[in-house]
Structure 1
Amino acid sequence: MKLRTLMRHAKEGAKSLGRNGWMTFASISAVTVALLLVGLFLTVMLNLNSIASQVENNVEVRVFIDRTATKEQQETLKNQLQQLSHVKSVTFVSKEQGLEDFIKSMGDDGDVFKSMKGKENPLPDAFVVKTDKPKETIDVAKAAKELNYVDEVNYGRDYVEKLFHVVDILRNIGLVLIVGLLFTSIFLIANTIKLTIVARRREIEIMKLVGATDAFVRWPYFIEGLMLGVLGSIIPFLLIAIGYHQVYDWFIGKNYQTYLFVKLIPYEKMTLYLGGLLVLLGAVIGVWGSLTSVRKFLKV
């Protein structure tokens, strides 16, 4: 297609938006409301998924070493742990460091244990084992427990198993809801856009009767649908971006990232992904709604 012809179709598509004022407003409003709901839900679900992944990645296996084990035996145990399937890293934690970490984890309540420094330390040396996949933690812990020179293995069994179960449920529910909401939005938006095309069916029939090709008829509506979708996606994107910026600043200001050990998706990253996704969804839905409606009136 020549650039001149394409510009002509673009101009016609833009003019149609102005000529059909109320129908254009109705279509853009439908796109805006639907994509606002989709965008809000996606923002919440993306952050929940990110937080779940952060919590999963913090899961670790702590292998306490037998107090009677020599340095050579400890080194042997470390090599055996590193050779286990799905083990990503093995870090030695001395009993002194273990006491320091325990005191820090207790916060203000840990002050009562500071008097133990320099005295008999009841904690054993340990290896902290990280897996390449969080769900492999359970199997790695069971395998580590069977090795020599191991006194005890701790990975928060009840907590970890419940965590993985809850995370799987949340992800599955979120996926089903997002897909359902997207299909509902596509159906509502496309049908609203169809109404604007149906109202101009005589115009399409006349163009066909005077010899216009299907492509010549489709292009202005293709561009009009594209414009409707993109215009309808801008408002929800701006509203969600402003709202997320406020929530993100409040979360950072309250220092919840330190207390809860989780982070929200950074504002810049979220707006980039969400903006691109909403504009793409709006454009696809707008084009699809226009083209499927025009097709019905091309058979003259």
Structure 2
Amino acid sequence: MKARTLGRHFRESFKSVGRNSWMSFASASAVTVTLLLVGVFVMIMMNLNKVADDLEKDVEVKVLVELTADEKMITKLEQDIKNVKGLETIVYSTKEEELEDLIKDFGGKMGLSDQNNPLRAAFYVKASNPQETEKLAKQIDQLPNTYSVEYGEGKIDKLFSFLNLARNIGLGLILALLFTAMFLISNTIRITIVARRREIEIMKLVGATSWFIRIPFVLEGIWIGILGAILPIVIVTVLYINLYELVQPYLVGELFNLLPLTPFLFQVNALILLMGIFIGVWGSFMSVRKFLRV
């Protein structure tokens, strides 16, 4: 396509948006409402997904060492654990460190510091894939010089099942909302194009090619999508910044936190803009197609 022709299409698409201002406003408004809902829902689901990831990453296996194991045996056990497939991190805690942690947790009220240390040394292990925690724990439990392996058996399975279910439901809802948005917006854009069907028929009758007719409408869809995405981007940005400043101070040091402002807001805003453009192009492309048969 020649640059002059492409430039003409751009000019015509801008003029058409202005000439059909009310129809363009209706289409852009439909895009705005839908993208606002999608943007807010995506923002919520991405943070919930981060909470799920944080919970998964906090799952660890506690390997208690036999009381009879000497330093050489403990070193050998540590090496054996490191050789287990799927291991991400391993931290060794001596009997003394375990006692210090217990006293710290209970404030020294149990009188443990006045007794002989009854605790065992332990290894704290995390799986590279939290979903494989149970498998990793069972492999470690078979190694020599391990007294017991604790990982929340039973509870951990329920946790992972719940998190996976929440992710699947969230993804399903987002996809359903997107398909609903595409259907509603394409119908709104179709109404705009129906009002101009005479224009399309005349251009077709005088010899204009299908793509020559279609491109200005597709460009209009792009402008409508961009216009419809501006307000959702502003609202989502302001909403999340205020939410982050209000909630995040109370979550410092907690198990989970909100996603940081950057690059999260850039990602969400880029997604909203791309969805707006895609929906506008798709709606225009599909709607004008039926009027190209004269």
Per the normalisation by structure 1, the TM-score is: 0.93
Alignment-mate amino acid for residue 146 of structure 2 = V
Aligned partners of 1:135 and 1:164 also within 8 Å: yes
Does residue 230 (structure 1) correspond to residue 226 (structure 2)? The answer is: yes
Correspondent of 1:180 among 176, 179, 192:
176
Does residue 79 (structure 1) correspond to residue 75 (structure 2)? The answer is: no
- Per the alignment, do residues 100 and 24 of structure 1 end up closer, same or farther by CA in structure 2, a change over 3 Å counting? farther
What do residues 159-203 of structure 1 show as CA deviations (whole Å, max 9, x unaligned)?
312210110110111111111111111111111111101110001
* Post-superposition offset of 1:60: 0.8
Q: Which residue of 2 aligns with 1:200?
A: 196
**What are the equivalent positions in structure 2 for 1:77-156 lying under 5 Å apart?**
77-102=77-102, 106=105, 110-113=106-109, 116-117=112-113, 120-156=116-152
Alignment-mate amino acid for residue 184 of structure 1 = T
What do residues 113-146 of structure 1 show as CA deviations (whole Å, max 9, x unaligned)?
5964475333211111121110111111122222
Q: Percent identity?
A: 45
SS in 2 for 1:62: strand
Q: Which residue of 2 aligns with 1:283?
A: 277
- Aligned-partner Cα distance in 2 for 1:141–1:226: 53
SS in 2 for 1:229: helix
Correspondent of 2:212 among 210, 216, 219:
216
Aligned partners of 2:103 and 2:113 also within 8 Å: no
- Aligned-partner Cα distance in 2 for 1:117–1:7: 83
Q: Which residue of 2 aligns with 1:157?
A: 153
Q: Which residue of 2 aligns with 1:166?
A: 162
* Post-superposition offset of 1:234: 1.4
* Post-superposition offset of 1:228: 0.4
Per the normalisation by structure 2, the TM-score is: 0.95
Q: Which residue of 2 aligns with 1:45?
A: 45
Kindly report the root-mean-square deviation, in angstroms, between the aligned alpha carbons of the 2 structures: 1.7
Q: What 5-or-longer segments of structure 1 have no aligned partner?
A: none
Does residue 258 (structure 1) correspond to residue 232 (structure 2)? The answer is: no
Q: What 5-or-longer segments of structure 2 have no aligned partner?
A: none
Q: Which residue of 2 aligns with 1:243?
A: 239
SS in 1 for 2:257: coil
Alignment-mate amino acid for residue 252 of structure 2 = Q
* Post-superposition offset of 1:99: 3.3
- Aligned-partner Cα distance in 2 for 1:265–1:246: 13
- Aligned-partner Cα distance in 2 for 1:113–1:56: 32
Equivalences, count: 294
Q: Which residue of 2 aligns with 1:31?
A: 31
Aligned partners of 1:77 and 1:148 also within 8 Å: yes
Correspondent of 1:191 among 187, 192, 197:
187
